[in-house]
Structure 1
């Protein structure tokens, strides 16, 4: 299946696109908290992401990833809050991908979901979440996510 590609003005090869959810909630203290999960292969902290299925809206694909990977349900924003790039490990190779990130306000968290037990999860302040993700553009996106920051 061919994924959407973004053309670069720098003459680089176009990047294939994935979609991601940025799961968040507003805490009792009225601050934004981000839900991070670990990747299954490396254990790095990431946000739920994946490939949209043919004919699927990007927002629906982002919501599906949040459910499958983290058991999170909620309201997805219609527009992405931004994007980031990362290197995806393949069988003996790496591919640079662009990820469109859609905020998802978590309203419910299921007790059971498809990838439960395969990943760890953590609710973190925007600053803490930004510190532990590896991708600089994702860290910047999280750090700049609108809403009040949590205070220690």
Structure 2
């Protein structure tokens, strides 16, 4: 396995992140909440590093609270996973695998930890799939929005 990772990504091992896929239903179907990244301002999901012994889905729910002020019901069923290169402050890029967990949003806080650093926006699922940079993440959003009940918590 380690050799396969090296062939795919070079000598730097892949790191694991988790993301919440915040969603709700409206009269037209599924809406997805995207946030801007702090560094480039591109549209992303709330994501980050799991903490020691923290269940991965719970880590994704925590990131949604910290980065977007969202609470709700997190699914323990992964909607998918994608890879990307995370730029570090040092200028180095680290390959990351991101596990995506749907979060049915119940409430949005007016004040949250990163409110001055990020914008958040509800958009239809097809639009959200096109707004994210990673094609694999766009496919995860499209597949999830076609049948959100399949990922019920």
Give the alignment's TM-score, normalised by structure 1: 0.87
Match of 2:99 in 1: 100
Q: Which runs of 5+ in 1 are unaligned?
A: 1-5
Aligned pairs for 1:2-151 within 5 A: 7=2, 9=4, 12=7, 14-27=13-26, 29=27, 31-90=29-88, 91-147=90-146
Distance across 1 between alignment mates of 2:66 and 2:121:
16
Secondary structure, counterpart of 1:80 in structure 2: coil
How far the C-alpha of 1:16 sits from its partner, in A, is: 1.2
Structure 2 residues not aligned, in runs of 5+:
148-153
Two-structure CA RMSD over aligned residues (Å):
1.9
Distance 1:147 1:108 in 2: 23
Between Structure 1 and Structure 2, how many residues are aligned? 143
Matched position secondary structure for 2:145: coil
Shift of 1:10: 6.6
Deviations 1:30-72 (A, max 9, x none): 5100000000000000000000100111111000000000001
> Post-superposition, which runs of at least 4 consecutive aligned residues in structure 1 deviate over 2 A?
6-14
| CA shift in 2, pair 1:107/1:8, >3 Å | farther
